Amino acid sequence: MKTEILDLTPVSPGSRRQLTRHFWDAGGGPKVYLQAALHADEMPGAILLWHLMELLDTAEAEGRITGQISVVPFANPIGLTQWLQGKPQGRQDLETMQNYNRGHFDLAALAGDALEGQLTQDAGQNTKIIRAAFAKALKALAPKSENEELRQRLLQWSHDADLVLDLHCDHEAVMHFYTSSSHPALTEALGRCTGAVLALMEDTSGGNAFDEAHTAPWRALQKRFPDHPIAQPTFATTLEYRGQRDVSDAQAQQDALNMMAFLGAAGVISGAPKPAHPPALQTPLNGAGEVFAAQGGIVTWALTPGAMVEKDQILGHVSDPLTRRRLPLLAPNAGLFFRRDLHPFCLKGQGLAHVAGETPVRSGDLLSN
Ligand SMILES: [Zn+2]
């Protein structure tokens, strides 16, 4: 293992933040980039990477690393320091309230003009040319804030990876992941290896989340340069490792072993565990219907995430003890009740849960804030 530490440019006198990457490099083979805690209040992925790094050390000692693996356990040193009134607030940048996992740089927009007249009739060669143009465009950026510099640095590490795995968690949820349609075999392998029960599929979800920043640009360049063959070389995914409180060594050790199985399936290590799970249920991201609170009050749940439900089935209730009115929370569509809010109290109109169905029920930006 080697370690690279980058200093972010100080934004105020007397303070400095650093970004750390550990990597295991066999000198060739597929390149994998894993990060956790981009939403800095989400620890299940970070503890998974703690245990994964021990397994990677052993694999390296046994000569079983066959690719390049980068691990960034804390991808957001800015968010890690954001605590308010005793609670971590790592989802949004407190200075701008921008979600740390939205609005990442658009590599096709940054590098597109420089690619005019540069592409060939060879898709493999074009992948190299495009990745080089991405690297050059990222280097030329002049970040206007610490958060922008953080985004630049993370993309500089990840933009040329063949696999990008961004580890997150939900409020309370079964394990699921988001990905695009571009690599169906890896999508199936990811479910079979990790045990995720649901894959939410979308090519353009809006908001340019970190995973999408690695796949959408290739689609945009395919449209812009239709006379040249352009591949989709990167498999990128956002993995939701259950809920914010699902942090334990026992679970993370098993998740790390499961991740080793996926790294084996992706050809980055040899002698990996075999996939031990059924494939994840695949539904379109726009088929995930949201349940909203019709009044403010106390939230109680009748079902736990993981239940298959019918449309209008009762998931829980919101009770107002002042008016003594209790309203049901009804499934907006049939499908898998896969996530719900962490807090047992809500405001009127608040989104409280999602049910993943086969039929599109939403349009526009498909990601929450
Ligand atoms: Zn997250």
What is the distance in A from the centroid of ligand 1 to the CA of 63? Answer: 34
- pLDDT score recorded for residue 363: 79
Cβ neighbors of 129 (< 8 A, separation 6 or more) are: 115, 118, 119, 120
- pLDDT, position 229: 98
Give the pLDDT confidence score for residue 317 in this predicted structure. 98
CA of 26 to the centre of ligand 1 (A): 30
Q: Compute the distance from residue 179 Cα to the ligand 1 centre, in Å.
A: 14
Q: What is the pLDDT of residue 313?
A: 98
**168: CA distance to ligand 1 center in Å?**
4
Ligand 1 centroid vs 216 CA: distance in angstroms? 19
Give the per-residue pLDDT at 369: 72
Q: Where are the alpha helices (DSSP H) in the chain?
A: 44-61, 77-80, 107-111, 123-140, 146-158, 184-194, 216-224, 249-265
- Structural domain spans, the chain: 2-279, 285-356
* 2-279 and 285-356 have identical folds: no
Distance from residue 80's CA to the centre of ligand 1 (Å): 13
CA of 114 relative to ligand 1 center, distance in Å:
33
Contact 277, 301 (CB under 8 A): no
Distance 38 CA to ligand 1 centre (A): 7
Q: Summarize pLDDT for 327-352 with one digit per residue, the tens.
A: 999 999 999 999 999 999 999 999 99
Going from the Cα of 259 to the center of ligand 1, the distance in angstroms, rounded, reads: 18
User: What pLDDT is stored for residue 364 in this prediction?
Assistant: 75
Q: Ligand 1 centroid to 285 CA: how many Å? A: 16
How close is the Cα of 153 to the center of ligand 1, in Å? 19
Centre of ligand 1 from the C-alpha of residue 111, in Å = 28
Q: How far is CA 264 from CA 261, 270, 334, in A?
A: 5, 6, 35
Longest dimension (CA), the chain: 70
> Which residues in the chain show pLDDT less than 50?
none
**Residue closest to 290 by CA, chosen among 353, 238, 227:** 353
What does the pLDDT read at residue 222? 98
How many CA atoms are closer than 13 Å to the CA of 334, on its beta-carbon side? 3
Phi/psi region, residue 94 (left: phi>0; alpha: psi -120 to 50; beta: rest), is alpha
Tell me the residues surrounding ligand 1 (ion) with CB < 5 Å.
Answer: 39, 42, 168
DSSP 204-245: --SS--TTGGGTHHHHHHHHH-TTS------EEEEEEEEETT
114, amino acid identity: A
Distance 10 CA to ligand 1 centre (A): 25
pLDDT digits (tens, 9 = 90+) for 26-52: 999 999 999 999 999 999 999 999 999
DSSP 109-175: HHHTGGGTTT--S-HHHHHHHHHHHHHHHHHH---SSHHHHHHHHHHHHHTT-SEEEEEEEESEE--
* Residue range 285-356, CATH number: 2.40.50.100
Cα(169) to centroid(ligand 1), Å:
5
Q: Which fold has domain 2-279?
A: Aminopeptidase (3.40.630)
Ligand 1 centroid–CA 171 distance in Å is 9
